[in-house]
Structure 1
Amino acid sequence: MNRWGETPYEAHLPPETVLNQMEMAVIVCDRFSNVIYGNAFAQELFGFGGDEFVGHSALSLAIAEEDHEQAAELARHVLKGGVWEGTFCNLRADGSTVYTRAHAVPLRHPSGAVDGIVIFAREALRSNQREQDRYGLLERIGERLAGSLELETTLRRVATTLVPQFADHCFIDVFSGDRLIRRVSQHAGGWTPPPGTWAEVGDPVSYPPGHFSAKAMSRRDAVLVEDMLRHRFEAPSEQSRRLGDAMGITSVISAPLLVRGELLGVMSLALSSLSARPDPHYDGFDRDLLGAIAGRVAIAIDNSLLFEEERETALAFQKHLLPGDLPPKLDGLQIAWRYEPARPLESHGHGIQTQVGGDWYDVIPLSAGRVGVVIGDVEGRGARAAAVMGQLRAALRAFAQDDKPPADILRKLDEWVRTMTRPERMRSGWNSDDLVRPPLVSCTYFVYDAWSRVLEFANAGHDPPLIITDGQVGDLTFESEGAMLGVRGPGVGGEILFNEESTELKPGSTLVLYTDGLIDRRPRDDGEYHSREEARERVRQAVAAVARRDVETIANAAYEAVPGDINDDVAIVVIRTAGDELAVQERTFPAEPIMVSEARRLAADAFAAWGMHDEQAELACLLVSEVVTNVVLHAATTPAPRRELVLDGGGIAPAPFGGGAFDEDDWDLGVDLAGQLGRREPPAKEFRLRLRRGADAIWVEVFDTDMRLPRIRSAGETDEGGRGLYLVDQLASRWGARPTADGKAVWFELPLHS
């Protein structure tokens, strides 16, 4: 009850009764833009009787054809959770035109999911029909210009809005350098000019001095030709004049495209007596209206040209930061890749994403024929994201040459990313809030050994790749997703861990690596939207359909799997392992001088079996001897570890003079304590020689348990040694040393000459 003791009867009315009393149209659509409800005012506004439009597309509300694209964009935007407001031109059931101001919001399920669209609409103008046309046109032109920064899209939208509502023919010519180029030639009814008459899109245009378009550009003001019969002689060519006569051109307005005092081009509209217009002539009000429209179009063109210049610069910048051509031939691997920058995101006042992103990929040759593969994505867009991407790629390439495990590489890369945070002094001083947050980066780094087929990897918050084995598609499982690089900012404690993982790939296995732009797509005109998991499933299905075909086909199938325009950069790398075993010889030797000749003999036999020429084989054997000799000599001079004495019962005997474990130099008792107590002798030192043959090179690796990495030193004239690694450095195409889990590996590479 209210304060007067009365019970408001409205509280008991059903929602439909309340909505039918509103002086505003209320239309509810499902996810497919089909109308499921319209109140009484909606039926009155659009001129429909009963509920005949229920169950049909929202386009059945007689939205004018030129507004269909805008209606589709409205649906896509609202179904993503946004709101939209703008003006539509509607054709009522009786054939009259009404302009409606619409406000659209998402219809949400109690769970929060978007189930449909609710549109509130009212009549935009209450005046005579021609004034509605004029004012509604100006408002809708502004909305279309605000929705795009691509020049072709901008001009096409303007032309389709003007034709056929305000003109039968529309021409927009824009200067490119000192030449005037036709950019738009739009005509009512889909008609196109015959070749050789009116200039086509892309053709240069030249107007004679007396032509109305030339006058508009020289006067810097719109020019109206109310009756074209008196100006037929001003046509640019005889063919143009004849076609104008045949088309019954009656009236023309031409307006210059001016911005900041600079002439960008000219825009012309024409009416024809062949149209069904009651009065196919323009007047002074129309001239002023087109002048206002041309001013807006000129600003939009200028913005589009600046945007395209900026975008081309960013694309060129990014293109030069990404690898131009990946290594053409890698032993045991086939590789294909794709990269596509994002297109600008067109929006109705909700921001326009105009820049390239920071996706990157790389394939890095490592020691002994192994290969590093990385794919990643830098948060954000524009030049900063591209610059960070370029620095990341260069840093990772440098870190990778250390031949450390992938987890160690990601730890170093994470530390490097976090150093990009810097304090920026503000005018009033600075505090911790003024610190620029480091960019967030997701990436996965893989190291593949084609001879052992072992894939080592570590992940930093990136989507797992697909793996194809025996024609079946699955996910390469990460035990840990890992944190994104740069997560730990200033003042944030805790250590970021990147787990080292490995798996053995079967012969012929295929990995499909990608960035999230592949599965985050903008819906196209059909309005269909896919969640990330739905999109990922579509990629799986597309890849499965071509799983046994070549890597290029798989890359194309993955890229085309999800419909829609790319909303973010897309990078795809497809790698396939060899189906055959690669040539390798491996043996472990005691670290004794006599084993140098044995190692050389093994190498000579392997090189002969691989068909190496005598001169090549002799050089390779010489370098094998030098590296093995170096390992044996250092193994003999390595300080022996302290040896423990073990009691019969397994306990450790105490040191007699309060020292630590037993050391035989601590004792001078004249008794064989080692014999009595049982000394645990250290095992004999060993080294392992591994020889690999690739298509264009051989690799030699020598493994031992000494942690010390070799280095070249300058040998004196009388020194007997110190020249082995110098020879390797001079004669091998590459050489190096890398730490292993239990020591080190010294390696060198020699090219194979046919």
Structure 2
Amino acid sequence: MKHWGEPPFEAQLPPETVLNQMEMAVIVCDRFSNVIYINAFAKKLFGFGGSEFIGQSVLSLGIAEEDHEQATELAKHVLKGGVWEGTFCNLRDDGTSVYTRAHAVPLRHPSGAIDGVAIFAREALRSNQREQDRYGLLERIGTRLAGSLELEVTLRQVAETLVPQFADHVFIDLFTGDKLVRRASRHTDGWAPPPGTWAENGEQVHYPSEHQAAKAMQRRDAVLEDTVTGVSAELGVTSMIAAPLVARGELLGVMNLALSHLGRRPDPHYDGFDRDLVGAIAGRVALAVDNAMLFEEERETALAFQKHLLPGETPPRLDGLQIAWRYEPAKPIESHGIQTQVGGDWYDVIPLSAGRVGIVIGDVEGRGAMAAAVMGQLRAALRAFAQDDKSPADIMRKLDEWVRTVTQPDRPRPPLVSCTYFIYDAWSRELTFANAGHDQPLLVVNGNVGELDFNDARGAMLGIRSSGVGGEIMFNEDSVVLSPGSTLVLYTDGLIERRPRDDGTFYTPEQSKTLIENAVAVAARRDVETVANAIFNAIPGDIDDDVALVVIRTAAEELPVEDRIFPAEPIMVSEARRLAAETFAAWGMHDDQAEMACLLVSEVVTNVVLHATNVPSPKRALVGAPELSFDEDDWDLGNGLGRPEPVKQEFRLRLRKGNDALWVEVFDPDLRLPRIRNAGETDEGGRGLYLVDQLATRWGSRPTADGKAVWFELPLT
């Protein structure tokens, strides 16, 4: 029997019984965001059966990965004494998803300290078809956001998805430094606001404190405004929602959506559900915007690396050679699920001794700033190696050794590099080359387009021995003589690989090569800049890998050169000087220039005659030597000594004239390279090379197949 004054029967129910009867999910977490209590409705809402989540992180309740950061931020906010309200996407055990509207409050100890967090959640999506259709926007927005990492494309696609289905006007404003700038806007039916009303794209935006956008950024939550005043009301706006764009704890900007009479809707007003939906959309947009901004920052950094590490926009002026080059970074579009960006394509033209030119084109494995940095190091290393005037095969071997020492923090092995190195002599028209896994260049001779045959110069990519491929990698070289007016087209594989067609298919490399060859054949008689433009325009569609292109054409005319062989005798020094003087006069050189050049010719030739050609005759081997014969035919009895004639030594003098410089080369059979001596006051010699070093623009020596060449360069002014 119930007695007067006793409390109602319901008040005697345990708190857990009351919570389990609530039609709302209740989750209690400790200070470390671990679940310590969940009620029965929470199990039903989130789609799991037992208490297996007790003691686990609140993220284990199926909160979608893209909302993990938001959940972490709300926990930090509430543990500091604040409250939070927002929308989450949760994944049930059966694979279905549910969107929940959550409200989080701090749990305080009697002492006032915050012990944990209580979260109350309900399903945000109601069952009527109108709201089902609206909530489908989340899926469409997600699909559009996954299509690009380019910021402007991301913003445009968001606006196109929201208008006109969910809004008549959309504005997206992002912070640039401390300024809020309008980055995207879209209006229904192509309508445009009158000038001076709403800010245009690129303009700075100012929101007063009472504006819903300012409130949304301050509260970091979506704000619904149904009482529209001012300019917006004059333009027919009836309802607005502002949602902050917050990613990784940082406020990136704000997104405004508006309904108006332009949309001719039966009820042009938003409600609380729409506010929650826009908040959820804004969270995904913010994450996509942040990713796009990070991607663009990395891409711009890599592009800056690439542009500063590659040669300048204008090729150098070279004797007997015309050059045009192009570099185009990849467009940031999705390819096979991978966002493309700047890579490690590179090219270079390196002045060598006696007017010869080193030319290289290559591609470093990988994308982004790391590939660009490796490319810059590789270009510097090759330039250093090239100054030794080694052959292309020797350069490839040294580059391969260098590449195998390169370490990258994100890769267990050095990168792979493809490249081809050429040395071109414009006076002899000889092109010598070695290849390391790179595409064959196109060669145009008399209008006929083909490929330069690498023959024995083929080789594996640089660094391939470090990738687990065993065996010694050999680098050989080959050479061809190019006809006057020949055109050589060097390119990286981004030019011909995966170019989109209008029908959604792609050009194959073979089809791309055909288009390029046709374009080159048409433009072959035009200047090299025109040829380079024709090649780039030959294949339609955006590239998804960066492209390097170098177009080279040999001169149609012969370049001035004088070449003669002399006996290595002291008297020949004056003969070599006389030849030089006559040649310089025929070339129209000024007397002062010609006199200094003749002086240096005398010094170098004298050095060769006195030292380099003073090589003893080969001695007969003692071990295994044949028996000596005493037949008279084996002896020269005329000299009275019975000794063979000494080996006659020779040297070769070659003079070359370019547009801006004169080169002198002296060849001899000695392998020893000369060096400058510190001659004493009483020394009679030792000052020849010092004089050359002081008066010439450059000088040096290089090995040849049968000895060495000593050379120097003088300017023609």
TM band (smaller chain): 0.7 to 0.9
Q: Is 1:338 aligned to residue 326 of structure 2?
A: yes
* 1:704/1:744 contact within 8 Å kept: yes
Counterpart CA distance in 2 for 1:484 and 1:220 is 53
Q: What's the counterpart of residue 648 of structure 1? A: none
CA distance in 1, matches of 2:613, 2:555: 41
**1:686 paired residue number:** 650
Q: 1:549 maps to which residue?
A: 526
- CA distance in structure 2 between the partners assigned to 1:515 and 1:435 by the alignment: 23
Q: Check if 1:588 corresponds to 2:565.
A: yes
Structure 2: distance between partners of 1:379 and 1:476: 24
- 1:184 corresponds in structure 2 to 184
User: Structure 2 vs 1, CA of residues 273 and 705 (structure 1 numbering), >3 Å: closer, same or farther?
Assistant: same
Is 1:409 matched up with 2:395?
A: yes
Q: Which residue of 2 aligns with 1:376?
A: 362
Report the Cα distance in structure 2 between the residues aligned to 1:607 and 1:556, rounded to whole angstroms: 41
Q: Is the 8 A contact 2:329 2:545 kept in 1?
A: yes
- CA 1:435–1:514 in structure 2 vs 1: closer, same or farther (change >3 Å)? closer
Which residue is 1:40 aligned to? none
Q: Which residue of 1 aligns with 2:277?
A: 289
Distance across 1 between alignment mates of 2:488 and 2:515: 16
Aligned residue pairs total: 590
Match among 593, 596, 601 for residue 619 of structure 1: 596
Q: Secondary structure at the match of 1:699?
A: strand
- Distance in 2 (CA, whole Å) between partners of 1:583 and 1:126 is 88
Aligned counterparts of 1:662 and 1:614: Cα–Cα separation in 2: 61
Q: Does residue 228 of structure 2 align to residue 231 of structure 1?
A: yes
Counterparts of 1:38-437 in structure 2 under 5 Å?
A: 128-226=128-226, 230-233=227-230, 235=231, 242=234, 244=235, 248-325=236-313, 328-346=316-334, 351-420=337-406, 436-437=412-413
Q: What 5-or-longer segments of structure 1 have no aligned partner?
A: 1-100, 102-124, 425-433, 645-654
- Normalising to structure 1: TM-score of the pair? 0.74
Query: What amino acid maps onto 2:177 in structure 1?
Result: G
Seen in structure 2, the aligned counterparts of structure 1 residues 493 and 220 have a Cα distance that, compared at 3 Å, is closer
8 Å Cα contact 2:701-2:709 kept in structure 1: yes
In 2, are the aligned partners of 1:326 and 1:362 still within 8 Å (CA)? no
**Residue identity opposite 1:478 in structure 2:** F
In angstroms, what is the RMSD of aligned CA positions? Answer: 2.7
CA contact (8 A) 1:643 1:681 kept: no
Structure 1 residue 454: Cα displacement? 0.6
User: Is 2:629 the partner of 1:695?
Assistant: no
What is the Cα deviation at residue 362 of structure 1? 0.4
Q: Write the letter of the residue equivalent to 2:175.
A: F
Where 1:477 maps in the other structure, the secondary structure is coil
Cα distance in 2 for partners of 1:590, 1:333 equals 34
Hey, what's the Cα distance between the residues in 2 that align with 1:733 and 1:402?
Answer: 17
Counterpart position of 1:18: none
Q: 1:524 deviation in Å?
A: 5.9
Residue number in structure 1 paired with 2:452: 476
Task: Quote the residue 1:64 is aligned against.
Answer: none
Three-state SS of the structure 2 residue aligned to 1:729 is helix
Identity score, percent: 74
Distance 2:492 2:165 in 1: 44
C-alpha contact (below 8 Å) 1:643/1:662 kept by paired residues: no
Task: Give the direction of change, closer, same or farther, for the CA distance of 1:662–1:740 in structure 2 (3 Å limit).
Answer: farther
Query: What are the ranges of 5 or more consecutive residues in structure 2 without an aligned counterpart?
Result: 1-96, 98-124
Separation in 1, partners of 2:238, 2:613: 104
Deviation at 1:450, TM superposition (A): 0.5
Shift, 1:321, TM fit: 1.9
Counterpart CA distance in 2 for 1:524 and 1:216 is 44
* Amino acid aligned to 1:576: R
**Among candidates 705, 711, 716, match of residue 741 of structure 1:** 705
Q: Which residue of 2 aligns with 1:519?
A: 496
Post-superposition shift, 1:328? 2.4
CA distance in 2, matches of 1:589, 1:325: 45
For residue 712 of structure 1, report the CA deviation from its aligned partner. Answer: 1.0
Runs of 4+ in 1 over 6 A off after TM superposition: 669-672, 676-680
Match of 1:495 among 453, 460, 472: 472
Matching residue of 1:26: none
- Partner of residue 442 from structure 1, selected from 402, 418, 425: 418
Q: Which residue of 1 aligns with 2:668?
A: 704
2-structure distance, mates of 1:577, 1:716: 48
**Quick one: structure 1 residues 327 and 736, their matched pair in 2 at CA, closer, same or farther if it must change by over 3 Å?**
farther
Any conservation in 2 of the 1:586–1:690 contact (CA below 8 Å)? yes
SS at match of 1:256: strand
Q: 2:635 aligned with 1:660, yes or no?
A: no
Cα shift at 1:661:
6.0
The answer to whether the Cα contact below 8 Å between 1:344 and 1:352 also exists between their aligned partners in 2 is no
